Amino acid sequence: HFDYPEVTPCAFELKDMRPVPYRPFRWGEYHVTMGIRSMPWSEWIELDSTYPVYQRVRDFRLGTRGRKAVRVLPVREDDIVKVSGGAEAAKELVYELAEYLSRRYPTSFRVTRISTSTSSIPSLGGVPLSWDGRMPICSVEVKETGAKFDLSLLDGLQGVEMGEEAMKIATGL
């Protein structure tokens, strides 16, 4: 069981947030490097005023390249090794992104949750795909782009098809 730390809601609209300066070769507060350090949960994914532009680029790439843009490896099994593929990881990613983004940027990401009367709760290995004991998210609406995503579509899919649909949703969040 993992207890998610508190995510501080962003006090500003995305359109009012300036991009974090990219300074890969300078020491200091914004130095970009691969280092191991504690990360404040509210900085896991940082969005800013350029978010809609990058989303249009992602949409264009997905629209023009289709399946070539988003792939998930299938399960591979032989006499020596079994690799479970990437579909379940992709599904988990979508739910993690939806939970985090809706908490960090509540004015930009609106979610609806599965009602308690629903018999089928999305899970992986018997662990519900939600935070803090809440019901899992069933849909996400992105204010800046007008996009709406129905996560419940993933429940009717399996394997690579489910994983690739999950990754398509992830590219829109």
- Residue 8 belongs to some domain of the structure: no
Q: Categorize the per-residue pLDDT at 37 as very low, low, confident or very high, splitting at 50, 70 and 90.
A: confident
What is the residue whose two structure tokens read 């998610």? 4
Report the pLDDT value the prediction gives residue 33, as an integer from 0 to 100.
59
Averaged pLDDT, 13-39: 73
Cα 164 from Cα 74, distance rounded (Å):
10
Report the pLDDT value the prediction gives residue 26, as an integer from 0 to 100.
58
- Residue 2 belongs to some domain of the structure: no
What domain count does the chain have? Answer: 1
Report the pLDDT value the prediction gives residue 82, as an integer from 0 to 100.
86
> What is residue 73's DSSP assignment?
P
CB distance 169 to 97 below 8 Å: no
- Residue 55 belongs to some domain of the structure: yes
- Residue 52 belongs to some domain of the structure: yes
Query: Coil, helix or strand for 137?
Result: strand
- Residue 1 belongs to some domain of the structure: no
Cα 82 from Cα 74, distance rounded (Å):
11
* 81 against 96, higher pLDDT: 96
Phi, psi of 148 (to 5 degrees): -130, 135
- Residue 84 belongs to some domain of the structure: yes
* 98 against 37, higher pLDDT: 98
Report the pLDDT value the prediction gives residue 23, as an integer from 0 to 100.
64
Report the pLDDT value the prediction gives residue 101, as an integer from 0 to 100.
98
> What is residue 33's DSSP assignment?
-
Cα 88 from Cα 72, distance rounded (Å):
10
Cα 12 from Cα 22, distance rounded (Å):
21
- Residue 61 belongs to some domain of the structure: yes
- Residue 7 belongs to some domain of the structure: no
Examine the pLDDT at 100 and tell me if it is beyond 90: yes
Give the side-chain half-sphere CA count within 13 A for 171. 18
**Domain interval for residue 33:** 14-172
The model carries a pTM of 0.88
